[in-house]
Amino acid sequence: MFTGIIEEMGSVRSLRRSGGSARLTLSASRVLAGTILGDSICVNGVCLTVVEMSASEFSADVAVETLKVTNLGDLTPGSNVNLERALQLSARIGGHLVSGHVDAVGRLRERREEGNGWRVLFDAPDAVLRYVIKKGSIAIDGISLTVADLDPAGFSVAMIPHTAKLTTLGHKKAGDTVNLEADIIGKYVERLLGGRAEGGVSLELLKKSGFA
């Protein structure tokens, strides 16, 4: 489990494919402190297991399914990535609960200046949008962000200078892909309530069940 608060940007050393899967090697520094083999590190929103490491880099295996549902397979040597170590139960949750299990790949539609920051618009598939609500949380390449608004094709977020400077989102441009993970709480609410009424979850059902 993660919080969506990026600890550092690492860079890709190599992505070696074999039999449909891959071995990803990344340079890093801060996230390696206290890390041991078998620990989890969130890479662009994807939870990966450390299988090799040194003082300045680590490697993780990327499964066939992960390559299918994320954009990790598009990484090339030199690409920057967002990194976060797994959450410790004693830590503050500055973002929201992020599982590191990407739901789908979205695409940056537009980025425009807004005050001292930017409004960034993303296209997203229905599989993600069904869980997205205004002022709710979403993980974009592992970054915990607040949904500013919704439209039929996607959603927008407000990006502050701090986020632009310390994460890969500051370097993204129109047409670039991003890994999306919807708020896990919404998924569990749908699962728990979906079988209690024909048609699944509705605002009326949520109100009757005390969730709204």
Give the pair of three-digit tokens for residue 75. 């990484």
Give the pair of three-digit tokens for residue 32. 């390696």
Check residue 208 and give its pLDDT.
Answer: 74
The CATH number of the structural domain formed by 104-188 is 2.40.30.20
Of 3, 22, 28, 40, the active-site residue reads: 40
Stretch (H or E) spanning 184: helix 184-194
Of 28, 47, 60, 139, the active-site residue reads: 47
Per residue of the chain (212 residues), give pLDDT as tens.
999 999 999 999 999 999 999 999 999 999 999 999 999 999 999 999 999 999 999 999 999 999 999 999 999 999 999 999 999 887 788 889 899 999 999 999 999 999 999 999 999 999 999 999 999 999 999 999 999 999 999 999 999 999 999 999 999 999 999 999 999 988 888 887 765 545 555 667 667 767 66
pTM for this entry:
0.88
Give the pair of three-digit tokens for residue 192. 């728990």
Quote the strand ranges of 19-103, DSSP E: 21-27, 40-43, 46-53, 57-62, 80-85
Check residue 205 and give its pLDDT.
Answer: 65
Task: Please say whether the beta carbons of 169 and 143 come within 8 A.
Answer: yes
Of 29, 49, 54, 56, the active-site residue reads: 49
Which are the contacts of 112, defined by CB distance < 8 A and separation ≥ 6?
A: 118, 119
47 is catalytic: yes
Tell me how far apart the alpha carbons of residues 102 and 71 are, in angstroms, rounded to a whole number: 10
Check residue 5 and give its pLDDT.
Answer: 96
35 is catalytic: no
96 is catalytic: no
Q: What residues does each domain of the chain span?
A: 8-85, 104-188
Exposure b/e, 179-197, CB count within 10 A at least 16 = b: bbbbbbebbebeeebeeee
Of 14, 27, 35, 101, the active-site residue reads: 101
Tell me how far apart the alpha carbons of residues 199 and 127 are, in angstroms, rounded to a whole number: 16
122 is catalytic: no
Check residue 212 and give its pLDDT.
Answer: 63
- What architecture does CATH give domain 8-85? Beta Barrel (2.40)
Check residue 206 and give its pLDDT.
Answer: 66
63 is catalytic: yes
Rounded to whole angstroms, what are the CA distances from 93 to 31, 80, 150, 174? 17, 24, 25, 30
Of 54, 63, 162, 211, the active-site residue reads: 63
Of 29, 54, 56, 146, the active-site residue reads: 146
Task: Please say whether the beta carbons of 25 and 92 come within 8 A.
Answer: no
49 is catalytic: yes
User: Which amino acid type is present at position 152?
Assistant: P
76 is catalytic: no
Of 2, 58, 122, 155, the active-site residue reads: 2
